[in-house]
Structure 1
Amino acid sequence: MRRFPCVVSLGGPSLVFALLCALGAKTAHAGSCDRPLVSACVNSDTLWPSAGPTRFATIAGTQTTAPQQFSMGLVATYLQRPIVLAVPSPGPTGSKQNAVSDQVNGNFLFGYGVTNRLALHIALPVTFGQAGSGTAAITGGEDLRDTALRDVRFGLALALLAEPRSDAAVATPDRAPALNGALTARLDVSAPTGDRTQFAGERGGVFAPSLAFGATFGRFFGGGEAGARLRGVSQFSGARVGTQLAFSLGLGASILPRDLLAASVEARVLPTLTEQSDTVQGATGLVSTPNGLTITPAEWMLALRTAPLMGGDFVVTGGGGTGLPLGGEAVTRPRLRFLLGVTYAPRAFDSDGDGVLDKDDACPGVAGIRTVPAELAAPGKTPPRKGCPLPRQEDGPPVDFTAPLGAPGKSP
């Protein structure tokens, strides 16, 4: 087993070190995608997280980053055996090789809210550590290197049916209906910047349009995404990866109020439209014959999420799951996946509509004052808190019912 030299903690200096460590990995020559039957231009990691608010670990959210605000985060995953290949041999069945046996990837996420409905995002993925035979089983080359750069992704999200920027747990029904739905159009583009010998990128650009949808009902929530990943075909041995459909679905519930703890179960399916092939070792080299089969990489995950700071904008997510055995062997379907993410995505929640964001509002469920009047902030007075309503003048001064009879402020 190879060492994982760039696996680090999630602290600020460690993030810088991890990025510099991954940037130190050597990149491959562009010609590595030219050999038709032994191309390693396949992205071993099908999970493409993006910056912005989301209730799920592996499903894109319907909310967008608040206007004129930046979002950022790091989502790290461990994959076991995402690339297992049938290697041609003189025998009738060939042999199985773990081209990628273990892998730790990180996605550095950045986003910007342009308007209340439109947000832009970019993802810089890297491989912190990995092990496997790579292309050595067929080409006789070296095993995988420890680190690699992966394909950069960028895109946009446009809310078609915007989700209210309010917390249903404290907002009035007019601000957050009991049953609420949302729909967001998304477009992601993957640029071929990754290392083409390390199963870290595609042979060309990938266009991934999709529709994300979600609904909430009380403390329960659901969501999903339907789209496609449009790409050219890459083949390594008998595995062929081309254009895919992309579907995901998740259900969850808030265990503690105000996003302190939530749990979800999620699933993703990527039906591949490209026909697979059987590859055998012939007298003159590899021979590939289409077999009429297709593959469907699929996974499920159980995740926990907590947002204890900054009014729910700072989120920590963790989860784990396995591949789903839909059909036969499917390249890019890991045996196991574990995820840990730390993100900051401003949502600008104002549940009572008083102009004071929930994270700064002492009374987020009741409309109040934005600033404390000067006359109420005078020495000797207890000023009202920001976001809370002013006391009504007709109520008169406060009465102390515990004072002795006849004392000032005592009710007769």
Structure 2
Amino acid sequence: MIAPRHLALAALASLLAAPALAQNIQNFRPAPGTWNGITVEGGQTAEHLQFVPSLMFSYGKSPLVERADDGTVVRPLVQHLSTLNVMATFGLFDRAEIGLDVPLHYVAVNKDAGLEGGAALGDLRVLPKVRLFGLDKRSPQVGLALAAPITLPTGNSDRWVGDDQITVDPKLVFELDLKVFRAALNGGVRVRPDRTDPKRLELGSEVTYGAAFGAHLGSEDFELIAEVFGAAPLEDIQGAELAPLEGLLGLRIHTAPGPVITLGAGTGIVASYGDPTARIFFGLAWNRHERDSDGDGILDEDDQCPHQPEDKDGFQDSDGCPDPDNDGDGLLDKDDSCPDEAEDRDGYEDADGCPEPDNDGDGILDSVDRCPMQPEDIDTFQDADGCPDPDNDEDGIPDVSDRCPLDPEDKDGFED
């Protein structure tokens, strides 16, 4: 029985003697960018002209072992597989992105098995993705995308890290984003036009799948990510167990002004090719974290109140802080008829929020009006003091009835 990580003793001789065709056992293929999962793609893409470089180091222990017919491990074939993925992604039109991944491997093999190990370049990956729907203002919680990773045969199949052919891995990507929690599902097909030599590692086209779940830990800067991903052959291959399945648990940390750290561990869930007994990974990306926590259109880094939305009323709107009482007169803007002019608090119509510089409307400002609540009678007699003078000449006859309001009556009994 011939099967990677489940290879029978009877087939070992032919396995070691066969040409090394399509021997890529590295199943940990990180998704570029910081909006995806670890290996599972999310529905979002990079912003227009956004450039995000990243590195991901991973180590897998015993990703390929020799097993007896009863499933017990006879010996490891590939003892250790370490990979550094050098990646970058570039956004186009706020809807698409194109990424590149250059994997650099170090393969440690069991020399007693006559295998070849050492440093090796892996298959270069070109990573296009298009957002088809959602994760925008109209549909912020649900998104659908199409990704189609392409591998080029630059890897060393003698060292188990090359397919020796071009492969295409189109997949549909679904994402649900509830802010504090998000989930992504991937499903597609990895097309290998030429199947591997059946004497060694028979890998034809496969169904690929993955699921990722992320939860923020009290802040958007800390996200716990759990993943499962795997593949299954499209054709039944006699005597082979070629359905790898792996689980990961990681933590992603966004730091200012742009470094993003991803780290975690995982393990193979079934006994198949590329499934390690243990995996660790550590990634570093640079992505300026343009976050607007309160959704007021002002980025947190420029927002003096990042968790309180600006009220956008034309008053100090650039600081990002709401101003419930623009004029500071103690009346909330919603109840203030003059929200940008402070009430003068002088006991006259103070509830409307509007200042009354001339309460009595006599044309003399309250600040110089000795009688701000009584209008001046404007009769050329002491009109500047703001106080009415009902009897200018103080003869006891009101001016309205006094034919000589500025000359006092002589009170002599004659026409008084």
Is TM-score (shorter-chain normalized) higher than 0.5? yes
Higher percent of residues as strand? 1
Measure, in 2, the Cα distance between the counterparts of 1:197 and 1:334: 19
Give 1:9's aligned residue: none
Which whole-Å deviations, capped at 9, do the CAs of 1:32-78 have from their partners, x for residues lacking one?
xxx99442531121122232233522211221111111011111111
- Check if 1:317 corresponds to 2:276: no
Distance 1:66 1:348, change over 3 A: farther
2:81–2:107: 8 Å Cα contact kept in structure 1? Answer: yes
Within 2, Cα distance between the matches of 1:358 and 1:334? 41
Instruction: Quote the residue 1:208 is aligned against.
Output: 169
Name the structure 1 match of 2:283.
Answer: 341
Q: 2:93 matched to which residue of 1? A: 115
> 236, 247, 250: which is aligned to 1:303?
250
Provide the rounded CA distance (Å) in 2 between the counterparts of 1:385 and 1:299. 48
Asked if structure 2 preserves the Cα contact closer than 8 Å seen for 1:66 and 1:346, the reply is: no
The residue that corresponds to 1:285 in the other structure is none
Match of 2:109 in 1: 132
Q: What is the CA distance between 1:181 and its match in structure 2?
A: 1.2
Question: Is 2:40 aligned against 1:59?
Answer: yes
- Residue by residue over 1:245-280, the C-alpha shift from the partner in whole angstroms, topping out at 9 and shown as x without a partner, is 1111122321122x222213211121123444xxxx
Which residue of 358, 366, 369 corresponds with 2:309? 366
Change (3 A) 1:360 1:50: farther
Structure possessing the higher radius of gyration over alpha carbons: 2
Q: Structure 1 183/358 Cα, relative in aligned 2: closer, same or farther at 3 Å? A: farther
**C-alpha distance 130-203 of structure 1, shift in aligned 2 (>3 A):** closer
Q: How far is 1:387 from its partner?
A: 3.8
Match of 1:159 among 112, 131, 138: 131
Structure 1 251/348 Cα, relative in aligned 2: closer, same or farther at 3 Å? same
Residues 133-184 of structure 1 show CA distances to partners (whole Å, capped at 9, x for unaligned) of 37x73xx5x6412x111111012111112313xxxxxxxxx7886xx11111
Is 1:53–1:61's contact at 8 Å kept on the other side of the alignment? no
CA distance in 1, matches of 2:294, 2:22: 51
Structure 1 residue 388: Cα displacement: 4.0
Give aligned-pair identity as a percent.
Answer: 24
Letter of the aligned partner of 1:144 in structure 2?
Answer: G
Instruction: Compare 349-358 and 186-195 and name the one that shifted more.
Output: 349-358
CA distance in 2, matches of 1:342, 1:94: 38
Structure 1 residues 228-307: aligned runs within 5 Å = 228-231=189-192, 232-235=194-197, 237=199, 239-257=201-219, 259-276=220-237, 290-291=238-239, 293-307=240-254
CA distance in 2, matches of 1:322, 1:338: 9
What amino acid is the match of 1:212?
V
Structure with more contact order per residue of length (Cα contacts < 8 Å, sep ≥ 6): 1
Superposition map of 1:177-216 within 5 A: 180-216=141-177
- Give me the whole-angstrom Cα distance separating, in 2, the residues matched to 1:95 and 1:80: 14
Shift in Å, 1:239: 3.2
1:330–1:386: structure 2 CA closer, same or farther, 3 Å change rule? same
Residues 72-106 of structure 1 show CA distances to partners (whole Å, capped at 9, x for unaligned) of 1111111011122469xxx9999944231112101
Paired residues of 1:85 and 1:331 also in contact (CA < 8 A): no
Superposition TM-score, scaled by structure 1 size: 0.67
What CA distance in whole angstroms lies between the structure 2 residues aligned with 1:273 and 1:295? 10
Given that residues 86 and 237 in structure 1 are in contact (C-alpha distance below 8 angstroms), is that contact kept between their aligned partners in structure 2?
A: no
Structure 2: gaps spanning 5 or more residues: 1-15, 328-338, 345-416
Among residues 45, 49, 65, which one is paired with 2:30 in the alignment? 49
Structure 1 match to 2:388:
none
2 CA distance for matches of 1:199 and 1:71? Answer: 29
> Residues 177-225 of structure 1: CA distance to partner in whole angstroms, max 9, x if unpaired?
6xx1111111110000112311111110110101111112352221121
Q: Deviations over 1:334-369 (max 9, x none)?
A: 221111111123575456666543443334452478
Counterpart Cα distance in 2 of 1:131 and 1:93: 23
Distance in 2, matches of 1:92 and 1:315, equals: 45
Check whether the contact 1:229–1:245 (CA below 8 A) recurs between aligned residues: yes
The answer to whether residue 337 in structure 2 is matched with residue 392 in structure 1 is: no
* Other structure's SS at 1:299 match: strand
Give the match for residue 117 of structure 2. 144
Superposition RMSD in Å: 3.4
Question: Retained in 2: the 8 A contact 1:274–1:294?
Answer: no
Q: Partner letter of residue 61 of structure 1?
A: G
2:20 is aligned to 39
> Quick one: distance in 2 between partners of 1:216 and 1:227?
21
> Which letter does structure 2 place at the counterpart of 1:186?
A
Q: Distance in 2 between matches of 1:272 and 1:63?
A: 29
Structure 1 pair 355/92, CA: closer, same or farther in 2 (3 Å)? closer
Rounded Cα–Cα distance in structure 2 between residues aligned with 1:361 and 1:349: 10
| Alpha-carbon distance between aligned partners in 2 of 1:274 and 1:224, rounded to the nearest angstrom | 23
Q: How many residues align?
A: 314
